[in-house]
Amino acid sequence: MKLANQVYLSEIDHKFLAQLKAIDHACLGDFWSLEAYQKEIDSPNSCVLGLINKKQQLLGFGCLWAILEEAHITILAVRPEYQGQGFGKIIVWGLLQKARDRQLEWATLEVRESNHIAIALYKNFGFEEIGRRAKYYEITREDALILWRKGLHTKEFGTALTSWQQPIADGLLAKGWSLDFSGFASSQTKD
Ligand SMILES: CC(C)(COP(=O)(O)OP(=O)(O)OC[C@H]1O[C@@H](n2cnc3c(N)ncnc32)[C@H](O)[C@@H]1OP(=O)(O)O)[C@@H](O)C(=O)NCCC(=O)NCCS
């Protein structure tokens, strides 16, 4: 396996800022500024989780805010040339694991109603639609769906997360990516 084909999940630091911004620009049309990403990385209430290869290239990332018992997933993006290979799935899996590590109880997010790929991805993890925000997006005036996943703190969810890990890794391997979980600290083994 070539080094570049090994990937791992990690909370990311300032050295990835330029890559974060480049992915944001390519995937989200400049959703957040460089300074905003800087703040996210520094905030104890945020988690910026990256999928990185051994050449230190950031392939995708997701962010969450911990607000009371809630994990608010604010951003999810995979470099366009790497989409459709399971990277989004492993990043969401990692964010949910991080939310659980923080003892958060549910996860929520807003997504464009036309973003069928993201909606399907989140529904794979048991997210349900609980409402919508009319004309939420400024330029297109498109509605946002509010998705919700309850029970992150339950034993059942811990078991589900563990059971999803191997199939996701196998799916990546089938696409030529070897996922290294060794540095991904979590409380998943406590149950
Ligand atoms: C949304 C996004 C992060 C998904 O990442 P990805 O790496 O392409 O997704 P994955 O390959 O992990 O696919 C995960 C799931 O998404 C769905 N999906 C992926 N590609 C799809 C396609 N072309 N059509 C329909 N569903 C698709 C499937 O449910 C898939 O699961 P499956 O393979 O078990 O069927 C990526 O498309 C992206 O960065 N989009 C631009 C930014 C964005 O829209 N972010 C979300 C904001 S909420």
143-182 residue pLDDT tens: 999 999 999 999 999 999 999 999 999 999 999 999 998 8
Catalytic member of 8, 37, 82, 122? 122
As for how many domains the chain has, the answer is: 1
Whether 183 is covered by a domain: the verdict is: no
Whether 190 is covered by a domain: the verdict is: no
pTM for this one?
0.95
Residue 191 has pLDDT above 80, yes or no: no
pLDDT tens-place string over residues 127-153: 999 999 999 998 889 999 999 999 999
pLDDT tens-place string over residues 26-72: 999 999 999 999 999 999 999 999 999 999 999 999 999 999 999 99
| CA–CA gap between residue 154 and residue 69 (Å, rounded) | 13
Whether 120 is covered by a domain: the verdict is: yes
Query: What range defines the domain where residue 124 resides?
Result: 3-176
Supply the CATH number for residue 97's domain.
3.40.630.30
Whether 188 is covered by a domain: the verdict is: no
Give yes or no for residue 94 CB within 6 A of ligand 1: no
State which ligand 1 atom lies nearest to the alpha carbon of 123. Answer: 29
Catalytic member of 11, 70, 110, 129? 110
Give yes or no for residue 89 CB within 6 A of ligand 1: yes
Ligand 1 center to 129 CA (angstroms): 17
Please state, in angstroms and as integers, the Cα–Cα distance from residue 31 to each residue in 24, 92, 125, 174, following that order: 6, 19, 24, 32
